[in-house]
Structure 1
Amino acid sequence: MTLDAWQKLKGHPQRVKPSDVAFIGLRSTEDPEDHLIAENDMRVHRVPEVRKKGLKAVVREVMKQLNDCDMVYVSFDVDSMDPSISEGTGTPVPGGFTLEEARGLLELFADEPKVKCIEFTEINPLLDKGGNAMGTAAFTLLQSTVYRLQERFGLRGSF
């Protein structure tokens, strides 16, 4: 299914080069995804690597990889976090980021001048067995990211 979707997109002009894509926190992938990542030499930073190198080092490495980009778009998929936090998502996989690790990554990216957009994806309250635990965790991350952006732009106020 994934390859079919990519094939249909081939008729459109390329907007993002594969070399300008980095995945941070991957734990579970499907064969077609693995094939696309390998075929396009996309950079993957798995959770154990991030923990070993440290958040700052990985963010620096990604930003160096994206050095030629004018703007950087960060898509934060909540299923990169551990299922103990992220039950309210479609693909909970053990061994994910803690809330503090996720917050650290997002704040580090929020500090980067080339980062122009940060989105949060895969939040699904209907799958959250813990009431609204994922919504609360996502809001906590959003709040700390916005606060960091306010600091970056010299804005004061509450969120």
Structure 2
Amino acid sequence: NKVSQINQPEKQTIEAWDRLKKIGGITPKITFKDLIYIATRDLEKPERFIVKKNNVKIYSVQKMRETGIQFVVEDALRRLEHCERIYVSFDVDSMDANVSRGTGTPVKSGLYESEAFQLMSGFAKSEKVCCVEITEINPTLDNKKNLMAEIALEILEQTTLEIEKRL
């Protein structure tokens, strides 16, 4: 995203990034039509630019609450029908700041625990979901005595149980 570029990476970093992108011989690894953002609240200017330019589907937390979690899951899976496999990355930053203190960027008006469980459970039921990750957990920032890591573990456990049911 050179148009909205904030930093100038070192030459060595750019070369390493370019090598990583070519691993496995498949390039690109993902296209923008294969990308969906769910439970977003706060995008930085470069993110807004790239999302708008490439018509990436976004479901805000507010929109998700209006339409319902089940609708969002079904609509996202429908939009990804062309994908052979689906990789779900759950960023704990998407959760409400009252829960998500153990992360670098807690923001208000995020997902509640029950909504996160529903969302991840909904995706885990899909045969196409082959991998799930939970990101941005930082216990050193958690002023609630590791609450965020415990919630993330619960989400992962519930999601894993849902995946096991379909295997």
Aligned to 1:73: 87
2:129 matched to which residue of 1? 115
Aligned: 1:145 with 2:159: yes
2:141 corresponds in structure 1 to: 127
Query: 2:103 aligned to 89, 97, 100, which one?
Result: 89
Task: Give the corresponding residue for 1:157.
Answer: none
Question: 1:39-78 maps to which residues of 2 (within 5 A)?
Answer: 39-78=53-92
**Secondary structure at the residue paired with 2:153?**
helix
1:80-136: per-residue Cα shift (whole Å, max 9, x none)?
000111100011000000000000000000000111001000000011011110011
Runs of 4+ in 1 over 2 A off after TM superposition: 1-5, 8-13
Distance between the aligned counterparts of 1:127 and 1:85, measured in 2? 12
Residue identity opposite 2:146 in structure 1: N
Amino acid aligned to 1:73 = Y
CA distance in 1 between partners of 2:66 and 2:30 (Å): 29
Which consecutive unaligned segments of at least 5 residues does structure 1 have? 154-159
Q: Deviations over 1:22-70 (max 9, x none)?
A: 0001101111100000011100000011011111100111111111000
Shift, 1:10, TM fit: 7.4
Q: Report the TM-score when normalising by structure 1.
A: 0.89
SS across alignment from 1:130:
coil
- RMSD of aligned residue pairs (Cα, Å): 2.0
Please give the secondary structure, in 2, of the residue aligned with 1:25: strand
In structure 2, distance between residues paired with 1:106 and 1:36: 25
**Structure 1 CA distance, aligned partners of 2:45 and 2:163?**
37
What is aligned with 1:136?
A: 150
**Count, aligned residues:** 152
Which residue identity is paired with 1:48? Q
Specify which of 18, 24, 27 is matched with residue 38 of structure 2: 24
**Whole-angstrom distance in 2 between the partners of 1:19 and 1:145:** 25
Partner SS, residue 104 of structure 1 = helix
Letter in 1 for 2:56: M
Tell me how far 1:140 sits from its aligned partner.
Answer: 1.0
Percent identity for Structure 1 against Structure 2: 36
Structure 2, unmatched stretches of 5+, are 9-13, 22-26
Residues of 1 paired with 2:149 and 2:141: CA distance? 11
